[in-house]
Amino acid sequence: MSDDKLKSKFRPDVIDPVEKKLMTQEGVEMPVDPEVQEFLGEDIRVREPVPPTQSPEILVVKDLKMHFPVTKGLLKRQVGSVKAVDGVSFTLRQGETLGIVGESGSGKSTVGNCVMRNLTPTSGQILFDGQDVTHIKGKELGEFHKRLTMVTQDPFASLDPRMKVRDSILEGVRINKLVTDKQEQYDLVARMLTLVGLNPKFSDRYPHEFSGGQRQRISIARALAINPAFIVCDEIVSALDVSIQAQIVGLMMKIQEELGLTYIFIGHDLSVVRHLSNQVAVMYLGKFMELTSSDELYEKPLHPYTQALISAAPIPKPKVDRQRERILLTGEVPSPINPPKGCNFCTRCKYATERCKTEDPALVDVGGGHMVACHMVTGK
């Protein structure tokens, strides 16, 4: 097809200057930031993980618990509690990423929501940049939310379908009166859209005019507009195609480097989480089963649950993948209302002993900051 014919088929006004790509009328084609280009065509899962740093601590979480009450009857009598998060501790350094992986219902989002202080924890402590934010409310909480923000899996949930992209991006900025001059607000939107690899001309459009990957970029632009120090990314790529996942992950890494941001990156796909995390926590039924540097976790997984998860994750090299031994996880995840008495994993663990059924293993450093909660590994 000749260039002219091609242009008449597409809208010439939406040729992206950065991507030099033509956008179709029906769905705008996914544009690609040149700096993210290197991630294209390459499987994100074969890239090397990032090592831990020695930058200052920004987030310290101590023995965090979030138990939701289970009520019954008209009087809403409490008959139990969902132990969504049951004693989680970690430290995160500025500019680093903590990945949290685990099966559905393990409590990953609840950790994120507690750190964001969308929830007030049942017990434990959250220190952000030296300030105890566990129970702050009102104005203090408002100030805190200028520094921390969250991006979730479903951009439709955060992007109002009736709002133009510009207004969605500016919502937090306007609420917090961060930029009041109209021209400056427009410039900010243009900068944010460019940063996430979208054409600033798109700011007059509505969310439904974009592809899933682009909507996720818009929610990232919206999160970045308030100039946060910290972002909780909750399954932000889980609903996207693998190639688009790679673009978004690449974009998040580039933005992190440019702006010195700190992330909690929650995900199902271990191979994606590995790629951008300095440390990774494996969560099961409200607890961290293993927590260590990304490299160590994938090279030397010690907890039986981590070993099973890693063995189930596909390796993008078919020959190696076919030769691997798979550890099948049988049985259902027990209910967090009635977790097992001893080790949370004992109902599905092939190494479980009598001790495992009665004694809850503590998360112990087995050397070099590699933390594991398993009697068999720690021997204590």
Ligand X SMILES: Nc1ncnc2c1ncn2[C@@H]1O[C@H](COP(=O)(O)OP(=O)(O)OP(=O)(O)O)[C@@H](O)[C@H]1O
Minimum CB distance to ligand SF4, residue 376 (Å): 4
- What, of ligand X, ligand SF4, Mg ion, none, does residue 247 touch, CB below 5 to 8 Å by kind? none
Partner that binds at residue 250, options Mg ion, ligand X, ligand SF4, none, CB closer than 5 to 8 Å by kind: none
Nearest to ligand SF4 of 135, 341 (CB atom): 341
List the interface residues with Mg ion, window 103-132 (CB under 5 A): 109
Cβ within 8 Å of residue 70, ≥6 positions away? 78, 79, 80, 81, 82, 337
Instruction: Write out the two tokens for 138.
Output: 């009102």
Q: Rounded to the nearest whole angstrom, what is the least distance from the CB of residue 153 to ligand SF4 in the complex?
A: 29
Among residues 285, 303, 286, which one has the least CA distance to residue 374?
303
Q: Pick one of ligand X, ligand SF4, Mg ion, none as the site partner of residue 345 (Cβ within 5 to 8 A by kind).
A: ligand SF4
Return the bridge partners of 149, or none.
231
Residue 220 CA, distance from chain mean position: 12
Nearest residue to Mg ion by CB is 109
The DSSP secondary-structure symbol of 159 reads S
Among 47, 67, 93, 108, the residue binding ligand X under the rule CB under 6 A is 108
Options 99-107, 157-165, 191-199, 304-312: segment touching ligand X (CB under 6 A): 99-107
Q: Which of 134-152 are b and which e, b meaning 16 or more Cβ less than 10 Å from the residue's Cβ?
A: bebeeeeeeebbbbbbbbb
Count the residues in the chain: 380
351: partner contacted, choices ligand SF4, Mg ion, ligand X, none (Cβ within 5-8 A by kind): ligand SF4
Closest CB to ligand SF4 among residues 127, 376: 376
Count of residues that bind ligand X according to CB under 6 A: 12
Q: How far apart are CA 206 and CA 132, in angstroms?
A: 39
* Stretch of 108-116, 160-168, 210-218, 245-253 contacting ligand X, by CB under 6 A: 108-116
Which CB sits closer to Mg ion, 104 or 330?
Answer: 104
Rg of the chain over Cα atoms, rounded to whole angstroms, equals 22
Q: How far apart are CA 272 and CA 314, in angstroms?
A: 11
Q: Which residues bind ligand SF4 (CB under 6 A)?
A: 304, 343, 345-346, 349, 351-352, 356, 361, 374-376
Contact residue for ligand X among 10, 29, 52, 68 (CB under 6 A) = 68
- 109 binds ligand X per the rule CB under 6 A: yes
Of the two residues 109 and 344, which places its CB atom closer to Mg ion in the complex?
A: 109
Does position 153 interact with Mg ion (CB under 5 A)? The reply is: no
Distances (CA, A) of 229 to 59, 184, 281, 372: 11, 21, 21, 29
The distance of closest approach from Cβ of residue 181 to ligand X in the complex, given in angstroms and rounded to an integer, is 39
Query: Nearest-CA neighbor of 201 among 251, 170, 164, 159?
Result: 164
With contact defined as beta carbons under 8 Å apart, do 39 and 249 qualify?
yes
Q: How far is the CB of 347 from ligand SF4 (least distance, A)?
A: 8
Beta carbon of residue 119, minimum distance to ligand SF4 (angstroms, whole number): 28
Least separation in angstroms between residue 108's CB and Mg ion is 5
Find the binding residues for ligand X in span 139-168 (CB under 6 A).
none
Helix locations, the chain, DSSP H: 3-9, 108-115, 138-144, 155-158, 165-175, 182-195, 212-224, 242-259, 270-276, 294-299, 304-312, 318-323, 354-358, 375-378
Q: Contact region for Mg ion (CB under 5 A) — 86-94, 101-109, 179-187, 193-201?
A: 101-109
126 binds ligand X (CB under 6 A): no
Q: For residues 7 and 341, which CB has a smaller minimum distance to ligand SF4 in the complex? A: 341
Write phi, then psi, for 70 (nearest 5 degrees). -105, 120
Among residues 179, 177, 219, which one has the least CA distance to residue 198? 219
Question: How many other β-carbons are positioned within 10 Å of the β-carbon of residue 371?
Answer: 21
When asked if residue 82 is in the footprint of ligand X (CB under 6 A), the reply is: yes
Q: Determine, following the binding rule CB under 6 A, whether residue 10 of this chain makes contact with ligand X.
A: no
Residues in contact with ligand X by CB under 6 A are 68, 82, 84, 102, 104-110, 336
